[in-house]
């Protein structure tokens, strides 16, 4: 079966997507979550393709995570998905006790992962270097972006074990359950770049 791929993102489009996420984040931190930022509707076809996205924020000096939230759902346009992910990254539940602030933005890196449509796979036939993995067991689900395996050096079993523990809150070997469902996805990484260029 053929799975749709993403429309290639040109350099100007990649810059525009980062600027979109920056604009949304600045607006939310300045004006709260009541009003929508005024952003013209895009005409670039790459913005209008259906794709998922994650927006990540890291400390500029230490690279420690300050938020990473997104959606794999490709039911909305990339433009809308990045707006949603940029808003949601400020509500990352891991950082509710110390949320990102407006004053902190010059000390952060921003990164966008544009997500291709999910494709079914098994626990052994996804590429650790290039594929993200989405695991569903019963009512629980979670994912790791491809950069997790690249940065940690984990093997497939190590990655799936950590996915069960950290994202699904299940025992480490839960991924071996015969009812576990695996999906892989490719990403196009934009950044990381300083939040303030």
Question: Is the CATH code 3.90.550.10 the one for domain 11-116+187-194?
Answer: no
- Judged by DSSP in three states, 116 sits in coil
Query: What local confidence, expressed as pLDDT, does residue 7 receive?
Result: 66
Split at pLDDT 50, 70, 90, the class of 3 is very low
Q: In the chain, which ranges are E strands?
A: 52-59, 65-71, 108-115, 119-121, 131-137, 140-144, 181-194
Asked if the model's pLDDT at residue 5 lies above 70, the reply is no
Identify whether the C-beta of residue 182 lies closer than 8 Å to the C-beta of residue 123: yes
Cα–Cα distances in angstroms (integers) from residue 143 to residues 9, 15, 54, 170, 196, in the given order: 24, 26, 11, 13, 29
What is the 8-class DSSP label of residue 24? Answer: H
Asked if the model's pLDDT at residue 2 lies above 70, the reply is no
Query: What local confidence, expressed as pLDDT, does residue 89 receive?
Result: 96
Tens digit of each residue's pLDDT (9 = 90 or more) over 6-29: 667 889 999 999 999 999 999 999
Of 18-22, 84-88, 111-115, 146-150, least confident by mean pLDDT is: 146-150
Give CATH 3.30.1490.150 domain extents, the chain.
119-185
Tokens of 23: 């604009």
Q: Which long-range contacts (CB under 8 A, 24 or more apart) does 92-96 make?
A: 92/66, 92/67, 92/68, 94/65, 94/67, 95/66, 95/67
pLDDT above 70 coverage of the chain, percent: 96
Distance CA 136, CA 138 (A): 6
Tokens of 149: 């395996």
CATH class for the region spanning 119-185: alpha beta
Query: What local confidence, expressed as pLDDT, does residue 111 receive?
Result: 96
- What stretches of 10-77 show up as alpha helix (H) in DSSP? 11-31, 45-48
Tens digit of each residue's pLDDT (9 = 90 or more) over 28-81: 999 987 778 888 888 888 888 889 999 999 999 999 999 999 999 778 899 999
Tokens of 103: 């004053």
Asked if the model's pLDDT at residue 192 lies above 50, the reply is yes
Mean pLDDT for the stretch of residues 125-135: 93
The full DSSP string for 138-165 is TTEEEEE-HHHHHHH---HHHHHHHHHH
Give CATH 3.30.700.20 domain extents, the chain.
11-116+187-194
């Amino acid at each position: 079966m053929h799975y749709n791929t993403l429309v290639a993102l040109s350099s100007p489009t990649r810059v525009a997507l980062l600027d979109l996420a920056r604009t949304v984040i600045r607006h939310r931190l300045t004006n709260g979550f009541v009003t929508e930022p005024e952003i013209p509707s895009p005409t670039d076809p790459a913005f209008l393709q259906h794709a998922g996205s994650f927006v990540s924020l890291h400390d500029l000096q230490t690279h420690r995570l300050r938020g990473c939230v997104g959606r794999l759902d490709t039911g909305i346009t990339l433009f809308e998905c990045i707006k949603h992910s940029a808003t949601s990254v400020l509500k990352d539940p891991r950082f509710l006790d110390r949320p990102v602030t407006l004053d902190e933005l010059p000390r952060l890196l921003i990164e966008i992962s544009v997500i291709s449509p999910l494709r079914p796979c098994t626990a052994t036939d996804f590429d650790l270097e290039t594929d993200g993995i989405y695991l569903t067991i019963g009512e629980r689900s979670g994912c790791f972006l491809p950069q997790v395996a690249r940065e940690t050096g984990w093997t497939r079993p190590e990655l799936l074990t950590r996915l069960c523990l950290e994202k699904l809150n299940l025992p480490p070997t839960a991924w071996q359950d015969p009812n576990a469902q695996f999906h892989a996805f490719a990403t196009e990484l934009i950044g990381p770049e300083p939040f303030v260029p």
